[in-house]
Amino acid sequence: MSPDTHGPSPVSPGIQGPSSTSPTAALTPTAALTPTAALTPAGATSAARTSTRARAARNRRYLVHGSRVLLLALVFGAWELLARADVIDPFNFSMPSAIWDQIREWALHGTAQGSLWEQIWYTLYEALLGWVVGVVTGVVLGITLGRIRFLSDVLGPYIKVLNAIPRIVLAPVFLIWFGLGPASKVASAVVLVFFPVFFNAFQGAREVDRNLVNNARILGASNRRVTLQVVVPSATSWIFTSLHVSFGFALIGAIVGEYIGATKGLGLLVAASQGTFNAAGVYAAMAILAVVALLTEGLLTFGERRLFRWRPAEPGTER
């Protein structure tokens, strides 16, 4: 027989059949890539990107907070220096150190009207009660008029007229009606809170996706179920937007009512400090009020994030 009959057949170096691959070559890392190993580089890249984004968001958050603190320190430092150098009159403008001394004096020894914490709680109680009443009435009436066009057509002009009235001027009227007690301050807070909440709830009820409403009706939902299970959830984001602003309005209503006439509260501290030409006392009451407002805003923001965890974060915001 000729050598090319029994000898090894020539194999092209670029092409190998299955029988030409040895067991050792089959077990090499290059040849034995499992699905997990094939996905490892992509998974590592995704994890690296997530870590980079988290680190960038954390650094930006630190930068924002640090810039806020720095700006506040610069303003207070310039205020203190200008007052001590008599560039501005410390009698009229006071200074941060005097304001801090006034707050500490009130906290340790109380005010002429009683304990400082009692004054804070009294104002907070009036603002919270007025805020709750204003929010509930605004949401109920806004959703109702948003759902029932006949009522909105009838009551719309009257609500617009009432909204055009400067509501701060109603505080003396409420003082005459309800006296020096908390009722007059609660009424002032209610009228300030009601309108922004009402208009947001009304608009939210009008902006509901009509396809959702039609689908609910096809499935046999009554008007009550459509309102409670479709309209109200859809308008919740609109309502929450107004809650952040409305609590500040509630504090304004309570403070203005106390300033005009009251027996307790931070507004009374402002009026008493003004009557004695105590500029530090006026600024101290304002600083306490600002802290209360910021804490409440933080609680509202926390509640909103917990309630709307399903909603994607807007660009530039951290959740």
The pLDDT mean for the chain works out to 79
Q: What is the pLDDT of residue 239?
A: 82
Strand-pairing partners, residue 114, are 111
pLDDT level of residue 48 (50, 70, 90 thresholds): confident
Look at 259 and 218; give whichever has higher pLDDT: 259
Tell me the C-alpha distance between 45 and 59, whole Å: 21
Question: Does 202 have pLDDT greater than 80?
Answer: yes
Q: What is the pLDDT of residue 29?
A: 44
What share of the chain has pLDDT > 90, as a percent?
23
Question: Does 311 have pLDDT greater than 80?
Answer: no
The pLDDT of 290-318, averaged and rounded, is 71
Q: What are 79-112's pLDDT values in tens digits? A: 999 999 988 888 889 899 999 999 999 988 888 8
Question: Does 70 have pLDDT greater than 50?
Answer: yes
Lowest mean pLDDT among 183-187, 260-264, 297-301: 297-301
The pLDDT of 16-38, averaged and rounded, is 43
Q: What is the pLDDT of residue 194?
A: 92
Q: What is the pLDDT of residue 163?
A: 86
Q: What is the pLDDT of residue 40?
A: 60
Q: What is the pLDDT of residue 235?
A: 78
What phi and psi values does residue 244 have, to the nearest 5 degrees?
A: -60, -40
Question: Does 36 have pLDDT greater than 60?
Answer: no
Look at 244 and 127; give whichever has higher pLDDT: 127
Question: Does 137 have pLDDT greater than 90?
Answer: yes
